[in-house]
Amino acid sequence: MSELRKDPIVDRWVIIAAERGRRPHEFEHPPEETAAGAACPLCEGNERMTPPEIWALRNVGAPNTPGWQVRVVPNKFPALRVEGEAHRRGLGIFDLMDGVGAHEVIIETPDHEWRMGDGPTEMVDRVLRAYQARLIDLYRDRRLRYCVIFRNFGPDAGASLSHPHSQIIAVPVVPRRVKSKLSAARDYFQRKERCIFCDVMAQELALGDRIVLENDYFVAFTPFASRFPFELAIYPRQHSHDFATLDEKGRLALADVLRRCLAYLRPALWQPSYNYILNVAPNPVPRPGKPDYWTTLHLDYHWHLEILPRVTRLAGFEWGTGFYINSVSPEDAARFLRDAMADEADGTASGSAEVSAPGGGS
């Protein structure tokens, strides 16, 4: 059983998941890529190599057999387990609890070689449907306070399997970074009666030099204070705290923007590793004695997606301060991505053969 431990000085939780762990000497080599076929536990036909599926989109077939389009399974080596209670407790000055939560893998397609940037939009949309379905289901469990939905692509982004997949980790506390966004949104709303995310998006649209692409539903831009070269944010135009309520039209529009952002990053950065994170609101769990902060629906939050290409390594300065040095201005990055997009539209992009034509939306 893993443990959640809280840093006694800063408000940061850590999962100590030693049972997933490797012996120290095993850190010498990065995990190897799995080839398609017999060895890949996420390929079609190998359904017996994963724990039984939780959710699937299927054309045909019974659960845990071939015939699926998207398949969600528990992680075979979970950081957190769904059984039991958290048993919050102290150890002298320290705080800890049992590693209760959920850790699921969204297998995005049977096709081992698929790249999300290649589309079609409908395949990306199916992945988003899986996120919505799992988010709604996991938030039925009142022990789970927050769901992190993310995708690691490439070895520099921490991906250990190359078959296309995303992950969901549901945790029994609201993480620090989420709390700081929630309280910023709350403070701003109380002061201005407006959403801070809406205002940031309006400012970005007014200035224009960091906008990468937009359609009727979404705006993609390189944030003013980007931490990393080619960092991207995708905000829904319409204020909404709840990703799960995004309807089919909106979901297809997000699938289109997300796919195109990933496609344009590829010629810009030569097949970068990246992480993307879907920033959703916490589970609105009422707790005795806790005032509105915990009991509200977080209506002043605005869900969004962050794409973080992994092209530089963090160094001591960043670790020591939480202060970042970014050597590509977000304005340059946005211009570069817009140029890649224009080249694609002209059919002159060097890598255009592998980038499918833009889908609907816009």
Among residues 201, 196, 175, the alpha carbon closest in space to that of 186 is found at 196
Nearer to its own copies, 123 or 171 (CB): 171
* Binding flag, residue 73, its own copies (CB under 8 A): no
Query: Binding residues for its own copies, how many (CB under 8 A)?
Result: 94
For residue 41, give both structure tokens: 């536990």
Among residues 12, 15, 11, the alpha carbon closest in space to that of 3 is found at 15
For residue 247, give both structure tokens: 């309807």
Which of 7, 85, 113, 354 is close enough to bind its own copies by CB under 8 A? Answer: 7
Burial class (CB in 10 A: 0-12, 13-18, 19+), 108: buried
Q: Which of residues 82-111 bind its own copies (CB under 8 A)?
A: 91-94
Assess contact for 229 and 312: CB atoms under 8 A. Answer: yes
Q: Which of residues 186-245 bind its own copies (CB under 8 A)?
A: 196-197, 199-200, 203, 206-207, 223-227, 229-230
* Binding flag, residue 62, its own copies (CB under 8 A): no
Nearest distance from residue 118's CB to its own copies, in Å? 20
Residue 191: CB atoms within 10 Å: 9
Q: What angle do CA 355, 356, 359 make, to 5 degrees?
A: 135
* Binding flag, residue 285, its own copies (CB under 8 A): no
Nearest distance from residue 326's CB to its own copies, in Å? 5
Backbone angles phi, psi at 192, to 5 degrees: -115, -10
Nearest distance from residue 249's CB to its own copies, in Å? 26
Nearest distance from residue 250's CB to its own copies, in Å? 21
Residues 6+ apart with CB under 8 A from 104: 54, 72, 73, 74, 75, 134, 167, 168, 169
Assess contact for 298 and 284: CB atoms under 8 A. Answer: yes
* Binding flag, residue 130, its own copies (CB under 8 A): no
Which of 38, 60, 193, 270 is close enough to bind its own copies by CB under 8 A? Answer: 270
Active site residue 165: yes
Residue 69: CB atoms within 10 Å: 18
Nearest distance from residue 171's CB to its own copies, in Å? 7
What is the x/- site pattern for its own copies, positions 294-333, by CB under 8 A?
Answer: ------------x-x-xxxxxxxx-xxxxxxxxxxxx-xx
Catalytic annotation, pick one of 87, 112, 163, 165: 165
Nearer to its own copies, 172 or 361 (CB): 172
Nearer to its own copies, 213 or 311 (CB): 311
* Binding flag, residue 338, its own copies (CB under 8 A): no
Active-site positions? 165
